[in-house]
Amino acid sequence: MAAMRGMDHSGLPFMKMHGLGNDFVILDARVDVVEVSATLARALGDRHCGVGFDQLAVITNRSDTIHLTFFNADGSGSAACGNATRCIARHIMQETGQSELHMTTDRGVLTARDMGEGLTAVNMGAPQLDWQEIPLAEDVDTLSLPIPGDPVATGMGNPHCTFFVDDIDAIDLASFGATREHHPLFPERTNVQIANVVGENHLRMRVWERGVGITLASGSSSCAVAVAAARRGLTGRSVQVDLDGGALWVDWRDDGVWMTGPTTHVFSGTLTPAYLASL
């Protein structure tokens, strides 16, 4: 269960946010300590008996810096979550009046910027293209994996496997993604994307997230697909990515992969002491 110190036992506050339907529960632990177990993460991720989310994010203070920790719906951890990072950045920028801020994650230091008109950008860092960094189980060409469908492997703080196909709507993503998430070439499992080029520097993508399943959008997956397309010569390094939940804009620059899009704070609530005690 959650361990809370310094709270009045009235429950555990949280925020529900999303970026293009990629939804998150956010726990702000900058003042009160909140220790999240895999059990708590799985319980909160249950859309019938909990709150429901694609990822859970915890905000803490670490060495005078805001630190973000992420959990998937199955309770497993993730070093990166692009859309959750943008949502939290938007919340903190509105709270502080800042237009730019720096946050740390297990991925490293991420910079976020207010782009105006409700858009928030985050630099997800340089892509990991070496097989050991992604990581893969063996030394293979990350631009052409020895897997049927000739996918591309990319690390964005978490592993990604991108398949470029002719018609993404003709593929049963549920079975396709579930099988390939556990491919033995990916010792930490992988996010799976199916994508195609719909125009100049314009991609369409659907995503299966490891530990979650099909999601309406994914920021790190969008970055991975953009990098894979540029490496294959299918697009330039600045693209629009259309997902089931809407569009993101990805720009692979010298200083990292920038991803821009809208965010929504849906509601704030409180997990009751009785619910927490039942876990």
- If you search the block for the tokens 């860092």, which residue do you land on? 125
pLDDT at 33: 85
Residue type present at position 100 = E
pLDDT at 35: 87
pLDDT at 64: 84
Q: Find, among 65, 60, 66, 69, the residue nearest to 30 by Cα.
A: 60
Sites in the chain below the pLDDT cut of 50 = 1-7
pLDDT at 70: 97
Could you give the residue range(s) of every CATH 3.10.310.10 domain in the chain? 3-124+263-277, 152-254
pLDDT at 6: 39
Look up the CATH superfamily of 3-124+263-277: Diaminopimelate Epimerase; Chain A, domain 1 (3.10.310.10)
pLDDT at 232: 98
In DSSP notation, 137-172 reads SS---TTS-SSTT--EEEESSSEEEEEE-S-GGGS-
Q: Are 185 and 192 in contact (CB under 8 A)?
A: no
pLDDT at 32: 85
First and final CA of the chain: distance in angstroms? 6
Phi, psi of 188 (to 5 degrees): -105, 20
CATH number given to 152-254: 3.10.310.10
Q: What is the pTM of this model?
A: 0.94
- pLDDT digit string, tens, across residues 219-262: 999 999 999 999 999 999 999 999 999 999 999 999 999 999 99
Per-residue tokens: 197: 């080029």
